[in-house]
C-alpha cells in the first residue's frame, strides 16, 4: 500500500472514531454524523470501489450505533430527523463518490487506450518510415485544384531536398531531367484533369549531376468533396541499372553464342561462299574466251559477265550476313519481313542441312508478317532452332525431314514453327530445355535455347516446345506483329 493511501485511511479512521464518540457521548442536538461524509470521501479518494462501499456501510452502522447510545426510550422527532439527514448525506456522498470513481476509471481507460493508440501509431509510422527507407518508396499526396502537396521523409531524400522546402510541382520539375520535363508536366496535367490513375517513369538530375530513375504511381480519391491523389514515388535507380547491366550481359552472351554458332557453320559458310566464287571464275574464263575469238562475241561475254555480277552479289550477301552475325549488334529496332529472315537463316545453314541429308519443306505466310525488332537476333533464334532440329536427327537412319512455317497466330502475333522428325522431346526435358545450362548433348553448353528465350521474350513474344504431330519435336515462337509503329529504340 502506498504511503499516501495509508495516511488517508488513518485520517479517515481517526475522523470516524471522533465523530462516533461525539455523536454517542455528548448531548449535542446537531447532526454531527453528517461529518461521516468526509470519511467516505477520504476513503474514496485513495481506495477502490470496494473500500468505498465498506466505508459507507461502516459509517451508516456507526451513525445508527451513535443514535442508539445517545437516546433512551423517548426519542424526539428532531433527533430522528437529524439521524435521517446524516444517513441521507452518507448515502448521497457514497453514491456520488462511487459514480465519480466509475467515471474516473472510464477516463483512465480512455486515456490509456489513447496512449496505446498513440504508441501504436508511432510504431506504425516508424515501421512505415523504415519500410519506405528500405524499399526506397516515398509517399506523395496532391490536393486539387490548388495543387498543394505533402511529401514523406523519403520523398525529401529521393529529391535531395531539406525539410524546409515546400513540396510543389515546381520543386519536382527543378529536379527532373531536362529530357523528361514534358513527360512530368503531362502527368501533372493529367492529374489536374482528374485522370483515375497516373503511372509514369522518368529521370531526376541531382545537383551533383547524378541521375536517378524514379517510378511514380498515383490514384485519385475523393475526400471531403475534394479531389486528392495518393501516390507512391519509387527510386528504381538500382533496378534500372541492374536491368541495363543484365541486358548488356545478355547481349554479350548472345554475341559469344553467335560466334560459336558460326564456328559450327564453318563448313556450310565455306560452301556458300566458294560456290559463287567458283562460278565467278568459270564465267570469267568463259567471258575471256568469247572476247578472244577472232570475232568477239559480245553478247555471250555480256551474259557471262552478268552471271559473274550475280554470283558476286550472292557471295557478298553471304559475307554480309556472316559479318552481321559476328558483329556486336545493339542497333535500333527496325521493321522487317519475317519471311525474309527465315530465308536468310536457311541460306546460312543450307550446307549443314545438305551435309546431314535433311529434306526441308518451307511454308511461308503470304503476305509476309512484319515484325519490329533486331533482325540479327531473331535470325540467331531461327538458326539455333534449325540447327537443334538438324543435330537431333543426325544419328537416325529414318528419313530426316525439317518443316519450317510462318503464319499468323492471331490478329496481333506472327507464328514461326520448326518441326523435325527426330526422336522428339521427353516429358522431363520439355519443361527444362529453355533453362540455362540444361542440355541433352554431350558437348553442349545448354545456353542456345536459353538465349533464344531471352531474345524472343525481349521482343514481346513467347517460345515453347512440344511434340510434333508426325513424331519428332516442334519448337515454336510468336512475335507481336508491327502495325507500322516500330519506334527507333534498341530492340530487346
Mean pLDDT of 316-327: 63
Q: What is the mean pLDDT of residues 100-126?
A: 82
CA distance readout (Å), 320 to 131, 314, 325, 344, 360: 54, 10, 9, 11, 24
What pLDDT shows up at residue 488? Answer: 47
Count Cα neighbours of 319 within 13 Å in the Cβ-side half-sphere: 11
pLDDT digits (tens, 9 = 90+) for 223-244: 766 778 888 898 999 888 888 7
Cα–Cα dist 489/385, whole Å: 26
136-235: CATH superfamily: PAS domain (3.30.450.20)
Q: Is the pLDDT of residue 115 over 70?
A: yes
DSSP structure class, residue 472: S
The whole-number pLDDT of residue 363 equals 92
Q: Which residue has the higher pLDDT, 456 or 268?
A: 456
Query: Alpha-carbon distance 190 to 178, whole Å?
Result: 20
Check whether 480 has a pLDDT greater than 70.
yes
pLDDT score of 484 more than 70? yes
Q: Are 391 and 346 in contact (CB under 8 A)?
A: no
Q: pLDDT tens, 20-59?
A: 888 777 777 677 778 888 888 888 887 788 888 888 898 8
For 59, other C-beta atoms within 10 Å of its C-beta total: 29
Higher pLDDT pick, 457 / 276: 457
pLDDT of residue 492: 43
Distance CA 121, CA 117 (A): 6
What is the model's pLDDT at position 216?
Answer: 92
Place of cell 534500372: 240
- Kindly report the length of the chain: 492
Q: Report the alpha-carbon distance of residue 84 to residue 33 in Å, rounded.
A: 10
421-450 pLDDT per residue, tens: 888 776 666 566 666 554 555 444 445 677
Of the pLDDT bands very low, low, confident and very high (cuts 50, 70, 90), residue 458 is confident
- The pLDDT tens digits for 350-360 are 877 888 888 99
Fold of 246-480: Heat Shock Protein 90 (3.30.565)
> Which residue matches cell numbers 533496378?
239
Q: What is the pLDDT of residue 490?
A: 43
Beta bridge partners of 372: 335
Confidence of residue 5 (pLDDT cuts 50, 70, 90): confident
| pLDDT for the residue 180 | 93
| Structural domain spans, the chain | 3-110, 136-235, 246-480
What's the predicted TM-score (pTM) here? 0.46
Residue 486, exposed/middle/buried by CB under 10 A (0-12, 13-18, 19+)? middle
Q: What are the Cα distances from residue 72, in Å, to 66, 68, 75, 76, 361?
A: 12, 8, 7, 10, 134
Q: Is the pLDDT of residue 479 over 90?
A: yes
**Region 134-142 average pLDDT:** 83
- Angle at 269 (CA atoms; ends 265, 275), nearest 5 degrees: 150
DSSP state of 178: G
Distance between alpha carbon 363 and the CA centroid of its chain, in Å?
Answer: 42
399 or 267, greater pLDDT:
399
Ramachandran region, residue 209 (left: φ > 0; alpha: ψ -120 to 50; beta: rest): left
- Per the model's pLDDT, the better-predicted residue between 69 and 157 turns out to be 157
Amino acid at each position: 500500500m502506498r504511503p499516501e493511501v495509508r495516511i488517508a485511511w488513518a485520517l479517515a479512521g481517526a475522523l470516524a472514531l471522533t465523530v462516533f464518540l461525539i455523536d454517542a457521548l455528548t448531548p449535542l442536538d446537531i447532526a454531527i454524523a453528517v461529518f461521516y461524509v468526509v470519511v467516505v470521501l477520504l476513503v474514496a479518494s485513495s481506495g477502490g470501489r470496494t473500500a468505498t462501499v465498506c466505508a459507507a456501510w461502516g459509517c451508516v452502522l456507526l451513525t445508527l450505533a451513535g443514535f442508539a447510545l445517545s437516546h433512551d426510550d423517548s426519542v424526539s422527532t428532531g433527533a430522528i430527523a437529524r439521524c435521517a439527514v446524516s444517513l441521507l448525506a452518507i448515502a448521497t456522498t457514497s453514491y456520488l463518490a462511487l459514480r465519480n470513481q466509475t467515471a474516473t476509471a472510464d477516463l483512465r481507460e480512455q486515456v490509456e487506450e489513447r496512449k496505446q493508440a498513440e504508441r501504436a501509431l508511432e510504431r506504425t509510422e516508424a515501421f512505415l518510415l523504415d519500410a519506405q527507407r528500405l524499399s526506397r518508396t516515398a509517399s506523395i499526396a496532391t490536393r486539387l485544384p490548388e495543387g498543394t502537396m505533402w511529401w514523406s521523409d523519403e520523398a525529401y531524400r529521393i529529391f535531395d531536398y531539406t525539410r524546409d522546402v515546400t513540396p510543389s510541382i515546381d520543386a519536382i520539375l527543378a529536379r527532373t531531367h531536362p529530357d523528361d520535363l514534358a513527360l512530368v508536366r503531362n502527368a501533372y496535367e493529367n492529374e489536374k484533369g482528374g485522370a483515375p490513375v497516373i503511372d509514369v517513369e522518368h529521370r531526376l538530375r541531382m545537383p551533383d549531376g547524378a541521375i536517378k530513375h524514379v517510378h511514380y504511381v498515383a490514384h485519385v480519391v475523393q475526400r471531403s468533396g475534394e479531389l486528392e491523389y495518393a501516390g507512391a514515388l519509387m527510386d528504381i535507380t538500382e533496378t534500372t541499372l541492374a536491368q541495363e547491366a543484365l541486358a548488356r550481359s545478355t547481349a554479350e552472351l548472345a554475341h559469344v553464342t553467335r560466334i560459336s554458332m558460326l564456328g559450327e557453320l564453318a563448313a556450310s559458310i565455306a560452301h556458300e561462299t566458294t560456290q559463287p566464287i567458283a562460278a565467278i571464275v568459270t564465267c570469267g574464263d568463259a567471258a575471256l574466251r568469247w572476247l578472244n575469238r577472232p570475232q568477239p562475241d559480245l553478247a555471250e561475254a555480256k551474259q557471262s559477265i552478268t552471271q559473274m555480277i550475280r554470283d558476286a552479289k550472292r557471295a557478298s550477301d553471304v559475307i554480309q550476313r556472316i559479318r552481321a552475325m559476328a558483329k556486336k549488334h545493339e542497333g535500333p529496332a527496325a521493321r522487317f519481313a519475317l519471311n525474309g529472315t527465315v530465308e536468310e537463316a536457311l541460306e546460312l545453314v543450307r550446307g549443314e542441312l545438305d551435309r546431314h541429308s535433311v529434306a526441308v519443306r518451307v511454308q511461308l505466310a503470304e503476305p509476309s508478317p512484319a515484325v519490329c525488332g533486331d533482325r540479327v537476333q531473331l535470325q540467331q533464334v531461327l538458326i539455333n532452332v534449325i540447327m537443334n532440329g538438324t543435330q537431333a536427327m543426325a544419328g537416325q537412319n529414318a528419313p530426316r525431314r525439317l518443316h519450317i512455317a510462318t503464319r499468323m497466330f492471331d490478329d496481333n502475333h506472327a507464328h514461326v514453327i520448326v518441326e523435325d522428325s527426330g526422336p522428339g522431346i521427353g516429358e522431363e526435358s520439355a519443361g527444362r530445355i529453355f533453362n540455362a545450362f540444361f542440355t541433352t548433348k554431350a558437348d553442349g553448353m545448354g545456353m542456345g535455347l536459353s538465349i533464344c528465350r531471352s531474345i524472343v521474350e525481349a521482343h514481346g513474344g513467347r517460345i515453347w516446345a512440344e511434340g510434333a504431330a508426325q513424331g519428332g519435336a516442334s519448337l515454336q515462337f510468336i512475335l507481336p506483329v508491327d502495325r507500322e509503329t516500330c519506334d527507333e529504340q534498341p530492340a530487346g
